[in-house]
Structure 1
Amino acid sequence: MIIFPAIDLRDGKCVRLYKGDFATSQVVAEDPVETALGFKNKGAEFIHMVDLDGALKGSLRNLSVVKSVIEATKLPVELGGGIRDMKTIEEVIDAGVARVILGTSALRQPELVKEAVKKFGDKIAVGIDAKDGFTAVEGWLEVSEVNYIDFAKTMEAIGVKTIIFTDISKDGTLQGPNFEQTGKLNEAVSCNIIASGGVKDIEDIKILTEMNLYGAIAGKAIYSNTLSLEEAIKVGRGE
């Protein structure tokens, strides 16, 4: 299982939110490039980045920062937040991003996902953020009536290979991921599932690894020192 250390960007800085609430935004590191290099030194093979300003505004705001991280670390980066049209997808991939995460646009514009997958294949991932099992959009400010597994099956049928699943009620809480919903999703579709939200410690990583997931994202746990990134990477690799 791949461990994806997370860098959430707001005004060019690394921040963490509690349950996706922008009012709880807390700066955890001033310099995203320095943070990313620290992750690389600890063995990270892939970095998960979110443009929170983009998610809120509906268009990318921190792409130059993402570019700097890619150039400095030479690591693959996946990016989500505010990517809602083909032009932006192309711009992000041209900037060197290895995997583009579509969220709101995937629910609102399945045709866009279809077109993007046709053109870019497995460089396109879909982020499914759920509240009580229903998919949330617009930076998590709105909850739809679409069940998260039904949505995943629709994306699978389109050809999406990777799904990042977050239970919003767990995100940034350090209370452990929603193992039950994540497990159900992993069984329901053949896509690669990345667990996100709530990872607290190495025990959570062990459980997720045993679930045969493709990956797990850790953010707050790394910044709060409740999880050692090096140890998580070793467990993920089965060492």
Structure 2
Amino acid sequence: MIIFPAIDIKNRKCVRLYKGDFDTTEVMAEDPVEVAKKFEAAGAEYLHIVDLDGAQKGVIENIDIIENIINSINIPIELGGGIRDIETINSLIKKGVSRVILGTAALNNKDLVLDALKKHKEKIAISIDAKNELVAINGWVNLSEVNYIDFAKEMENIGVGTIIFTDISKDGTLKGPNYEQLTELNKNVKCNIIASGGIKDINDIIKLKEMNLYGAITGKAIYSGNINLEEALKL
């Protein structure tokens, strides 16, 4: 299982939210580039980055910081937040983003997902952010009427190979992931599943690994000191 240290960028800083609420923004570090370097030094093999400003506005807002991260480290990054068209996807991959994450755009524009998969295949992932089992969009602000399992199956059927799943009610809480929903998702699709939201300590990492998931994203647990990244990576 791959552990993805998380860097969420808002107002050019590393932040964490509580249950996806932008009014709860907490600054965890001033310089995302330095944080990326520290994660790489600790042994991380892949980084998960979200442009939260972009997620809110529907367009990438922190591209200069993201490019700086790419140019400052030697490990791949996956990036989400505000990516709504094929031109942006093409540009990001050309700049060195290893995996582009589509969330709102995937729900609203299946043709975009098909086009992206045709051009970039495994470099495309779908983020399913759910609340009460329904998919949320637009930076988690709006709730759709689409069930997360149904959406995952639809994405798998059109060729998506990687799904990032977040239970919004768990995100930033340090109360553990939603194991029940992750289990159901893993049963219903054959995609690589990356768990996100709520990881509190090394025991959560161990349990997710035992579930044979492809990956786990952890942010607040690292920043708060609940998880020692080097120790977790040794697992």
Instruction: Provide the residue aligned with 1:89 in structure 2.
Output: 89
Partners in 2 of 1:64 and 1:187 — Cα distance? 39
| Alignment partner, residue 223 of structure 2 | 223
Q: Distance in 2 between matches of 1:232 and 1:40?
A: 14
User: How far apart are residue 230 of structure 1 and its match?
Assistant: 1.0
Structure-to-structure mapping, 1:54-203, within 5 angstroms = 54-203=54-203
Task: Count residues in correspondence.
Answer: 235
Tell me by how many angstroms 1:11 deviates: 1.6
Shift of 1:172: 0.3
Post-superposition, which runs of at least 4 consecutive aligned residues in structure 1 deviate over 3 A? none
Measured after TM superposition, the shift of residue 75 of structure 1 is 1.1
Using the alignment, how far apart are the partners of 1:232 and 1:183 within structure 2? 22
Q: Matches of 2:187 and 2:66 in 1, distance apart?
A: 33
Amino acid at match of 1:47: L
Measure, in 2, the Cα distance between the counterparts of 1:63 and 1:5.
19
Equivalent position SS for 1:170: coil
- 3-state SS, counterpart of residue 175 of structure 1: coil
Structure 2 Cα separation of the partners of residues 216 and 98 of structure 1: 17
Computed over aligned residues only, the root mean square deviation of the Cα atoms, in angstroms, reads 0.6
Query: 2:33 is aligned with what amino acid?
Result: V
Q: Which runs of 5+ in 2 are unaligned?
A: none
The residue aligned with 1:6 is 6
TM-score, normalised with respect to structure 1 = 0.97
SS at 1:118 equivalent = helix
Instruction: Give the match for residue 23 of structure 1.
Output: 23
Cα distance, 1:91 vs structure 2: 1.3
Q: Distance in 2 between matches of 1:28 and 1:230?
A: 19
Task: Tell me how far 1:48 sits from its aligned partner.
Answer: 0.1
Percent identity between the two aligned chains: 63
**SS of structure 1 residue aligned to 2:126:** strand
